[in-house]
Every structure is written in structure tokens, then in C-alpha cells.
């Protein structure tokens, strides 16, 4: 997992060409007025523009993906996000390949992400997004889904 401000994105360009493209795309575009929805990009990458009201941690759950890396960018608002390595959690709901989604349970750490923050979640990074930081609020977020190029054997 990587957490930083978009103004520092250049630091991460050498990790992967698709991550570089995603971070450059985020830096070059203003998403304040972007329409909510899913958009195809290139090389199997797609973009989701989301807007939602944050929720209490009791309503959240741990999720992980196998086929995609998430690059999540907070356009507007503040939310709390949980993080845990999938190997430290228990599977609550079997992996749904058609949705690239695994539901987990257990304990993890939390951080606050505000406007201008991006987070990169790899398949081993379980996350619990969309949580209320101080008080419930509307958050606008862009999620860029990058296909995983090579798969390593995973416990889950």
C-alpha cells in the first residue's frame, strides 16, 4: 500500500508504467465536475468516478482484489480507510471472480485520507474504504483499476 498527496506522485512513477499513467492522468485532470460512472481507459485499465456519504466503521468491511490494483484518489472530502494484509485476516465470503472481490474479517489499521490524497492498494492489501473520519460527509473519489500483470501464488 502507498499513501501520499498527488503533488508527490512523480516519486512513484518508476514502480510500474501503468501506475505512472494513472497518476499522471489524475494530476492532469480536474474531477470536481466529472460525471459519476465507469469509464474505459486503455490497456484494460478502467476508471470509476464515485460519490457517496461516509459511513461508520461498524458498517464497513474488509475487501481485497486479485485481478486489479486500486489507485484511489480523493477529489473532495475526508474519509477514514482501513488497511490490513490479507494474510492477517480471515475469509468471510469466498472470492467472486466476476466482481474481483473478496470479503474478509479481522483487525487492521486506519488512516485518514483528505482531498488530494491518493492510495495504491495491491492484491495483498485488504482495505475498508468510505468510513467516516469525524462526521459523515459526501466524498467524491476516482478509483483507477489497473490489471495485475503477473500473479504470484496467494494464500487466498
pLDDT digit string (tens) for 122-150?
999 999 999 999 999 999 999 999 999 86
d(Cα 107, Cα 111) in Å, to the nearest integer?
14
Q: Domains along the chain? A: 2-146 (2.60.120.370)
> What order of strands is seen across the sheet that includes strand 125-131?
90-96, 101-105, 62-64, 125-131, 78-85, 109-114
Grid cell listed for 21: 499513467
3-state secondary structure the chain: CEEEEHHHHHHHCCCCHHHHHHHHHHHHCCCCCCCCEEEECCCCCEEEEEEEECECHHHCCEEECCCEEEEEEEEECEEEEEEEEHHHCEEEEEEEHHHCEEEEECCCEEEEEECCEEEEECCCEEEEEEECCCCCCEEEEEEEEEECCCCCCCCC
pLDDT digit string (tens) for 37-96?
999 999 999 999 999 999 999 999 999 999 999 999 999 999 999 999 999 999 999 999
pTM of the model: 0.93
Amino acid at each position: 500500500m502507498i499513501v501520499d498527496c498527488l503533488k508527490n506522485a512523480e516519486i512513484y512513477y518508476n514502480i510500474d508504467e501503468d501506475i505512472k499513467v494513472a497518476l499522471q492522468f489524475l494530476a492532469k485532470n480536474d474531477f470536481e465536475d466529472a460525471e459519476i460512472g465507469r469509464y474505459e481507459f486503455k490497456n484494460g485499465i478502467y476508471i470509476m468516478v464515485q460519490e457517496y456519504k461516509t459511513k461508520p466503521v461498524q458498517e464497513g468491511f474488509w475487501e481485497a482484489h486479485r485481478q486489479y490494483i486500486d489507485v484511489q484518489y480523493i477529489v473532495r472530502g475526508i474519509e477514514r480507510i482501513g488497511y490490513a494484509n490479507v494474510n492477517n485476516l480471515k475469509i468471510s465470503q469466498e472470492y467472486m471472480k466476476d466482481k474481483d472481490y473478496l470479503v474478509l474479517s479481522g483487525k487492521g489499521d486506519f488512516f485518514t485520507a483528505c482531498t488530494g490524497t491518493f492510495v495504491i492498494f495491491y492484491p495483498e492489501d485488504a482495505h475498508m474504504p468510505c468510513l467516516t473520519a469525524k462526521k459523515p460527509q459526501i466524498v467524491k473519489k476516482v478509483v483507477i483499476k489497473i490489471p495485475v500483470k503477473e500473479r504470484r501464488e496467494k494464500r487466498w
